[in-house]
């Protein structure tokens, strides 16, 4: 199987709302494998680097404030097609447009209202993985999941 890895983060609102297990379980039940996880409060500087591709957008500052405002659960998931399918599990960026059955469709109402409490649930960007994990490849854990032979045949 062609194994891919993708970076997934649960932002402060998701952590504070107690959605860690709910979100992890959707990836886990699908058959993907968790190969790295940590909880961090990112610095503003880190947030700006993480989202540098959005630096021209009007919401950039609020987004970075928000990401660095509290605990973030950073993960790397591994599996066949996980980059593209992980996005499907998460749903469209705007929860008003994400389908029921997706994480954002089921668990979020509005895209970032960054001035106060945001209800943005999570973000995924494969191109951001390098910043978060690229220099840390050795921190990824290699193991054979018991479920693999049932998931992949
Ligand atoms: P995603 O989080 O689905 O990967 P993205 O990388 O394009 O989407 O955007 C990162 C975050 O920026 C997203 O989670 C919420 C915020 N954002 C994106 N578009 C926005 C918009 N039009 N208004 C407000 N916030 C927005």
Interface ipTM: 0.94
Range 65-73 average pLDDT: 94
- The atom of ligand 1 lying closest to the CA of 93 is 3
By DSSP bridging, strand 3-10 and strand 122-124 are antiparallel
Which domains can be identified in the chain, with CATH numbers? 3-133 (3.30.70.141)
Q: Is the CB of 125 under 6 A from ligand 1?
A: yes
Q: How confident is the model at residue 90 (pLDDT cuts 50, 70, 90)?
A: very high
Determine whether 103 is exposed, middle or buried from the number of CB atoms within 10 Å of its CB (0-12, 13-18, 19+): buried
Which pLDDT band, with edges at 50, 70 and 90, does 20 fall under?
A: very high
Give all strands of the β-sheet with 72-80 in edge-to-edge order: 33-40, 72-80, 3-10, 122-124
Mean pLDDT of 18-36: 96
Cβ atoms of 10 and 23 within 8 Å: the answer is: yes
Mutate to test the pocket of ligand 1, among 111, 113, 120, 132 (most ligand atoms within 8 A of CB): 111
Q: Give the contacts of 68 (CB within 8 A, at least 6 positions apart).
A: 41, 42, 43, 44, 46, 47
């Amino acid at each position: 199987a062609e194994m891919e890895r993708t970076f997934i983060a649960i932002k402060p609102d998701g952590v504070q709302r107690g959605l860690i297990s709910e979100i992890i379980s959707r990836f886990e039940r699908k058959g993907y494998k968790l190969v790295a996880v940590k909880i961090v409060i990112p610095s503003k500087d880190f947030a700006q680097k993480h989202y540098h591709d959005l630096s021209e957008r009007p919401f950039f500052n609020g987004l970075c404030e928000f990401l660095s405002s509290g605990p973030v659960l950073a993960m790397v998931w591994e599996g066949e097609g996980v980059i593209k399918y992980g996005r499907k599990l998460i749903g469209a960026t705007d929860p008003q447009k994400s389908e029921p059955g997706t994480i954002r469709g089921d668990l979020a109402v509005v895209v970032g209202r960054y001035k106060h409490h945001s209800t943005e649930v999570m973000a995924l960007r494969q191109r951001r993985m390098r910043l978060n994990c690229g220099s840390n490849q050795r921190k990824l854990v290699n193991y054979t999941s018991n479920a693999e032979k049932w998931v992949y045949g």
